[in-house]
Every structure is written in C-alpha cells, then in structure tokens.
Amino acid sequence: MQAADSARADEGAALLAAARMVRERAHAPYSRFRVGAALRDERGAIHAGCNVENAAYPVGTCAEAGAIAAMVAAGGRRIAEILVCGDGAGLVTPCGACRQRIREFARPDTPIHAATPEGIAKSFTLAELLPDSFGPETLGE
C-alpha cells in the first residue's frame, strides 16, 4: 500500500470510529433509526454529530447537521470529507436538506462516504449527490 493510500485509510477509519461512537448516543426513540456523522475540516480536525429526534417530528436534527454545527462552533469553515453511518436496507446517504447543508461548506469534489458500523459501503463526491447545486457563490459570496 502506498503512503498516500495508507493515510487515506487511516483518515477514513478515524471518521468511521467517530461516527460509530456518536451513533450509539443518538436520540431516536420514534424511528429507532440511529445515525452518526463525522467530518474532517480544513485543518484536519474531526467533528461528529448524531440524529436527535423530537416528538414534534419536523423539529428533529440530522446527524450531519450536528457535525456541521460542531465544526462551525470549533472554528472550522470547510468540510474536507464527511462520513454518514447508519443501518438500513440500502445505503444511508445524506437527506436532501443535509446535502444542501454540506454544500454550504464543501466543494463539488468533497468526498461523502456512506457507511455501516462495519465500514464504508460506498463513496461519492458532493457533485454526484447534488449536481448543479445552489451555493454561496450563487449569491456572490
């Protein structure tokens, strides 16, 4: 294995470990569908979040939103890579709203990994999950 491949594998393992840990802490009494997300920011710091449901369903928070909020609170401003970990019959990828949340802080080539607790199932770029997207530069930012 090349040094760069080994470093990427180590980074992926660190994201998976963080997402798995917070997934266990998810507050999902209604759906019983626990999700954890972990991202690496532009400085290499890892931030994690889990889904938090609410009896008033629209008020819940996705894991990705929690991880992004943790990044921003810690001073991070760009997502270098993000991993979403959950169990399901199919891949657990970010919902539409979270794809847009990720878009606010990521570039089109940013890797987004869909994982189970056992490992990464599939990787995408943001552009693959949210093509021709609306972002900050659309508003002149």
Residues forming the active site = 64
DSSP 41: E
**How far is residue 81's CA from residue 121's CA, in Å, rounded to a whole number?**
15
> From residue 98, how far is each of 16, 126, 141 by CA, in Å?
18, 11, 20
Specify the length of the chain in residues.
141
